[in-house]
Amino acid sequence: MASWPKTVYLLTLIVLLGAHCYLIDDLEVDLEALESEPRADLDVEYQPDVWNEVDRDLLDGDTNKRVYEQEIDTDDAEMTFGEAVDPEVKFAPGLVSQACLGCICKLESQCKPIGCQMDVGSLSCGYFQIKLGYWTDCGKLGTDWKSCANDVQCSSQCVQNYMRRYASHYNCPATCEGYAREHNGGPKGCHKSSTIPYWNKLKRIPGCENM
């Protein structure tokens, strides 16, 4: 009888070890299943030539919190653009034509890396006078907002990405006017009457009359 408790102890130990092995096997199966499932919660690194989804939270929310529009002075005395757009300047390819990008660039900065200036309560920077919210919406290209804005390739890619993201979603005309007004007025800028003066001013740039 003295050996009976030892037998019970050994049997109990065997049962516990078996249960432990079963739990480990079950856990490994669960982990394999998890690894095979797509992870929607993972951050995907942005690629300039890929934009699969529109930010629904931004599109359905209050976009007025991000101000893009620039004050446009239509006074003839203020409309001095000098020479026409330099055809040697090359922009990133995309929805917006090279000629149209050149006209927008000329209107915004004389197509020069002019840095940042205060505009409608916030800074606008670089070749296309890109605001921080605009740069965020185009995918945060480059090393930072201001550096990208002052680089003609990065800033023009930002404009192209922005148009691909918003212009088609809001049924903007696939024309230079549609893109220029969208650039000036934000996600729904192509439909805002407040962006018409911007377009009228752009058309008065030498070489941009027939955009």
Residues with catalytic roles = 108, 119
Give the H or E element holding residue 33: helix 4-36
Structure tokens at 17: 């070890």
Task: Yes or no: say if 149 and 125 are a contact pair by the CB < 8 Å rule.
Answer: yes
Task: Yes or no: say if 100 and 176 are a contact pair by the CB < 8 Å rule.
Answer: yes
Rounded Cα distance, 184 and 82, in Å: 22
Task: Yes or no: say if 59 and 169 are a contact pair by the CB < 8 Å rule.
Answer: yes
Structure tokens at 159: 């404009």
The amino acid sitting at 206 is P
Rounded Cα distance, 194 and 39, in Å: 43
Task: Yes or no: say if 120 and 69 are a contact pair by the CB < 8 Å rule.
Answer: yes
Q: Could you tell me the end-to-end alpha-carbon distance of the chain, in angstroms, rounded to an integer? A: 104
